[in-house]
Amino acid sequence: MGNNSLMIQGTASGVGKSVMVAGLCRLLARNGVSVAPFKPQNMSNNAAVTVDGGEIGRAQALQAQACGIEPTVDMNPVLIKPEADEKAQLIVRGKVVGQLEARRFRKDRIGWLGTVLESFYRLQSQYDVVVVEGAGSPSEPNLREGDIANMGFAEAADVPVWLVGDIDCGGVFASLKGSLDILSDSECGRVEALLINRFRGNLALLDDALEWLERETEKPVAGVIPYLSLELPEEDAPYRHALGQNSDGSGFNIAVIAYPRMSNHDDIDPLASEAGVNLRFVRSTDELQPADLVILPGSKHVVSDLEWLRSRGFVPALEQHLRYGGKILGLCGGMQMLGREIKDNGVEGGGSEALGWLPLSTVMLPEKTLRRVDQSSACFGDERVTGYEIHHGDSNCDASLFPFAACSGDGQIWGSYLHGMFEQGPFRKTWLGTMGFSTSDGINQHQRTMDSLDLLADVLERELKPELLAPLLKRSRAA
């Protein structure tokens, strides 16, 4: 099997594959190993713009950051962005190539294997080690035929695998053993080790269970990773921000409306990390208050999510919020909803009259805007702002308001196309001050992220068996 790569697969979605890959990447990079992340196929509406002008899954951008390198389209050659239950936007090597229908998914994906392998081999030629992330579980019987995301890729690329399970969810021993039982003999032989994630408590309590697992599976347990509180962007689980709110509603309250096709929700992570900010995701008007600021985040299907807002009674609730002096921020698709109208040139299948609260009109165009941004904001103290644009709409933006595109006359409603604009602490502090929150710490989110990645790498270096890490570290030691 390939000696400069390792693939992390999981017993299910959400067991920690993305985080484990990020942690391993950070651990290797700190030890002088030239390392890159890779995910053959990702399904997520949370994307980032790469240095080579494409879009990839947000998790791979984070993993590249852990490596200390810029993300490229090779790190996630196939990205699927769901638009509806039976339809998704297909992105190959960073560019939209069409739509994907659920009924053709298994058949169509077989043709992407060559593209996936080409990107993987290119990364292998450029870096000492490539750490690969699987998708979902390799043991789903309905998805195994034609698979390119898990064992199908691992077999084609001859990559060893570690299988991770989440003990915090319960049933981790059954899920690890059961997953191996479903695999073919060759696939099972490819699994070099098992990994248990998110353990709380005294490790000695697991001794008998770990011995049983190693005996029954004939696989070593690479390590048991404790439950960690990390400030890392979540690709598909934003609702962690609903926890730990002040029950009396004190502090600065932010409500983020979580419509069905919400995208790029990691935009709000820097706000949620502020001490004194209580941020929560809401899906009904009953949950909207108390709120000093309401955020309409990005959307993968703006017209549908706008209709959802109307059908759930959010429009009168937001009007009431404004009458009482509340503020609203629309990001990307959320901003488009706040404008006067959305005209559609065949992108989403129909336009709409928007809410009319911002002096903005949008035309949906087939060509997607993908742009990284790094410049100062003249209207906010010349503070540096970084981020990226990723959208189909073309709007009559007011460039003088950068990083915002529009603002209501009374200053209560703001809109921006720029994802990630709150990453820079000084700008975030300045803008939050205009919103009524005066105690921002002004810390750059990059620093918070790197602190969490270093904590994760510390734990992995301590908990993983040295003999299993050695093959990944040996190149730096040889140097």
Mapped onto helix, strand or coil, the DSSP state of residue 415 is: strand
d(CA 422, CA 425): 7
Q: Are 258 and 238 in contact (CB under 8 A)?
A: yes
Strand blocks (E) in 44-183: 47-49, 55-57, 78-84, 87-92, 95-101, 129-133, 161-166
CB burial class (10 A; 0-12, 13-18, 19+) of residue 308?
Answer: middle
Angle in degrees, CA 275, 169, 234, rounded to 5: 40
| Active site annotation includes 188 | no
What are the residues whose beta carbons fall under 8 Å from the beta carbon of 401, sequence distance 6 or more?
379, 407
Residue whose entry in the numeric block shows the structure tokens 């609702």:
239
CB 51 within 8 A of CB 90: no
Measured CA to CA in angstroms, residue 282 lies from 127, 401, 432 at distances of 43, 28, 21
Euclidean distance between CA atoms 220 and 268, whole angstroms: 39
Reading the block at residue 191, the tokens are 């699994």
Nearest to residue 349, comparing CAs of 360, 364, 338, 361?
364
Question: Rounded to an integer, what distance in angstroms lies between the CA atom of residue 370 and that of residue 419?
Answer: 11
- Annotation says 419 is catalytic: yes
What's the burial of 145, exposed, middle or buried (CB within 10 Å: 0-12/13-18/19+)? exposed
Q: Which among 67, 332, 391, 407 is annotated as catalytic?
A: 332
Q: For residue 290, what are the CA distances in angstroms to 24, 132, 275?
A: 41, 43, 17
- Paired strand residues for 375: 385
Of 300, 223, 200, 165, which is closest to residue 465 (Cα–Cα)? 223
For residue 408, give every residue at least 6 positions away whose Cβ sits within 8 Å of its Cβ, in sequence order, or none.
Answer: 357, 358, 359, 414
CB-CB contact of 82 with 43 (8 Å): yes
Q: What are the DSSP calls for 182-231, one per residue?
A: HS-HHHHHHEEEEEEEEE-S-GGGGHHHHHHHHHHH---EEEEEEP----
Do residues 66 and 453 lie in contact, with contact meaning Cβ atoms separated by under 8 Å?
yes
Annotated catalytic sites, by residue?
A: 332, 419
